[in-house]
Structure 1
Amino acid sequence: MRVESVTRLPEAFQRSVSAEQITAMAQRAFGPHAPVVSAVELGNGMYNNTYRVEPAGQAPVILRVAPEPGRQNRIERELMRNEHASLPYFAPIAHMMPRTLAVDFTHDLIGRDYLFQTMLPGVPAADGLAAYPRSRWTSYFRQMGSIARRVHSVRGPRFGPVAGPGFSTWSAAVIACLEDTAADLDDAGLDATDVRAVAEAAARDRAVLDEIVEPRLLHGDLWTVNVMLDPGATEPTISGVFDHDRASWGDPEADWTVHMAGQRPGAERDTFWESYGTLSATPEGALRRLFYRARHIGAIRLECHRLGRFDDVPRTYDGMRLVLDGLHA
């Protein structure tokens, strides 16, 4: 079997798996008479290790391997299990998503969760968009708004990650996430004073958060890096959506997709709102979005540190300072 792994520093967070491990995983998933011809690690993911695996006589599939449990942060714990639990709720866009072929959470073989999925056709949007003039990107963001709206139409039983823990109120879910983020930053040796200040403000403004009473499905990571494009289309056309491992129940305005759509106003992504709709125009809605922005910034700070992008960490403190200024205004 030919194996190509991404070259990383020894201290890197992601750790490739061996040819022997891939063989064992494939045989458990597809049987002992399905040898693997090749396994090529894809380097565009930042959490799981992802491989394009070609079993003999079969179409290529995707293998995703989660980090060891002891290396997972609180806000990123058992993301693959959360993704697996949330899959049935993405029924409105099921035709755009990969099919799960096999899942193994036993840790018998490698001490890590892993799963095999069908390989989505198309090209990653992060690469495919460059093939079109920017004037045509408007249709892409309009499609993104439509997809996000369909996801957010799904109602849930409680707040928090789909696989749990669950919360009876939205404020409890938001505060718990902020507190877990602060604890993770402490573990990483980073200053979390500003995140704790936001958590305290959220506790004071609990009533504003609890105006959200109906949990809705949030993808958690729906943006350019997690969609595929039809390579033959005359304009950017989304053909696939993947990586919903951060799915949760909450306020749609808290989703990463909505956060990203609001960046760089006046550019092509403004067309997102044409299909998605508008956000709450009330002072309470604006206040909630400050708490949501803090959640995203805290997660970005942790991810930058985890990936060794240390030069990007200081910017998160600048961003959080603006959030705190807004909360104190």
Structure 2
Amino acid sequence: MAHQHPNQHSNQHKDQKQNSGLHSPISTEVLNSLVHKHFGDHVVVKKFGLLQGGLFNTTYRIQLEHAPITDIILRLAPERVQYPMTEKSGKHIERDPLFSFERTMMAAEPIIYEHYRVAGIPAPEVLACDDSAQDVPRTYMFMAFIPSVQLDHASIEEKDKNHLYTQLGMYTAKMHRIEGASFGWPQADGTIRGSEHWSEVLLAIAEETSRKAAQIGYMPGVGEEIMAIFEQNKALFDQIKQPVLVHNDLWAANVLVHGKQGEMSIAAVIDGDRSMFADREYEAILNTDSDAFHAGYGRPLDPSPEGQARRHAYRLLSSYFNAYVHQHQVDQPEDGRIFEERTLDLLEKWKSGQFR
């Protein structure tokens, strides 16, 4: 599931001061040791800086000397902490703030970008990815720095923006032609953790979110209602037979662009770690009202009542997930309240059959 902002065409949360407990800087000594492990002892760290904006991973830009690539990015996933089970009212309570898929997603990111490259989608260059926890208790990745701005940067003129959104639609269509053997989350070894049935993956997401919310008394009863929707409508979701790759966090801030005005193009689609094999219409950006994007995508949404119902259920599940995440995982309560209100509204509309 994606960590989305309430307005997917805004990058507000990219500019907010970091206050997520998941985001944890490392010492200069550890940073140097990781660089030397992967690039050699002769390489010198000229300077580095912690990049602000992420609520989940910790990201550094590093300038090197005596290395083939001298401008690199280091991203570190949240720390691998063993959270003991605690007792509350006779029940075992899990305290791990992360969802199960979040524990493995960065390690699978090189696989995602290889899919992109084969399909002709511009992707970051992964220089190294380490999931061993030998040097630091977290997965980390070195990538080549890409000179660029985000697609929602204020300097981009409307004409360029229309062209870029058309291009993004074309790349999204290419992504949605990448087929998987089953539904679920790619793993570092190339397998997929999930199910042959789309309904089972959706229900698993709903169950885990509901369980975490219930353990802290968040939105009581809502998780059970959402779980029931996916439990009672398995046949609706299992009409989707072919899993395809969806980015699952595709919005302007995760699209890097470069070039001068009038000649801009997409440099890379980034932050693909939340990707999964799913129904193509699970991709939230398909809800955009951008004519340019849809012109590039070149494929209409399923207009049938079943298609509308599925998309509504996806929005409901995503909103519920994001309400919990923003309130209790990354400490963004204002966004959390927006998602909470949206969840309740979508739930009521589901009950009344208002799927448009």
Decide: shared fold, TM above 0.5: yes
State the secondary structure of the residue aligned to 1:40: strand
- Change in 2 beyond 3 A, CA 1:188/1:83: farther
Query: Which of residues 244, 247, 254 in structure 2 aligns to 1:216?
Result: 244
Query: Which of residues 284, 303, 322 in structure 2 aligns to 1:281?
Result: 303
Q: CA deviation at 1:177?
A: 1.0
Q: 1:78-157 maps to which residues of 2 (within 5 A)?
A: 78-93=104-119, 96-127=122-153, 130-134=154-158, 136-157=160-181
- Alpha-carbon RMSD: 2.1
**Preserved CA contact (<8 Å) 2:179 2:243:** yes
CA distance in 2, matches of 1:234, 1:135: 7
**TM-score scaled to structure 1, two decimals?**
0.88
**Preserved CA contact (<8 Å) 1:54 1:61:** yes
Compare 72-81 and 243-252 and name the one that shifted more. 72-81
What residue in structure 2 maps to residue 318 of structure 1?
341
Q: Percent identity?
A: 25
Query: Which of residues 207, 210, 214 in structure 2 aligns to 1:182?
Result: 210
The answer to whether 1:73 aligns with 2:84 is no
**Preserved CA contact (<8 Å) 2:18 2:52:** no
Gaps of 5+ in 1: 1-5
- Change in 2 beyond 3 A, CA 1:18/1:94: farther
The answer to whether 1:303 aligns with 2:331 is no
What residue in structure 2 maps to residue 232 of structure 1?
260
What residue in structure 2 maps to residue 26 of structure 1?
35
State the secondary structure of the residue aligned to 1:165: strand
- Change in 2 beyond 3 A, CA 1:192/1:178: farther
Question: What are the Cα deviations for residues 183-237 of structure 1, in whole angstroms up to 9, with x where unaligned?
Answer: 2334555225323311211111110100000011111112111111114131653
Question: Which amino acid in structure 1 is aligned with residue 323 of structure 2?
Answer: R
Q: CA deviation at 1:286?
A: 0.7
- Change in 2 beyond 3 A, CA 1:199/1:224: same
- Change in 2 beyond 3 A, CA 1:254/1:28: same
**Preserved CA contact (<8 Å) 2:101 2:185:** no
- Change in 2 beyond 3 A, CA 1:91/1:327: same
Question: Which amino acid in structure 2 is aligned with residue 148 of structure 1?
Answer: T
Runs of 4+ in 1 over 6 A off after TM superposition: none
State the secondary structure of the residue aligned to 1:278: coil
The number of aligned residues is 314
**TM-score scaled to structure 2, two decimals?**
0.82
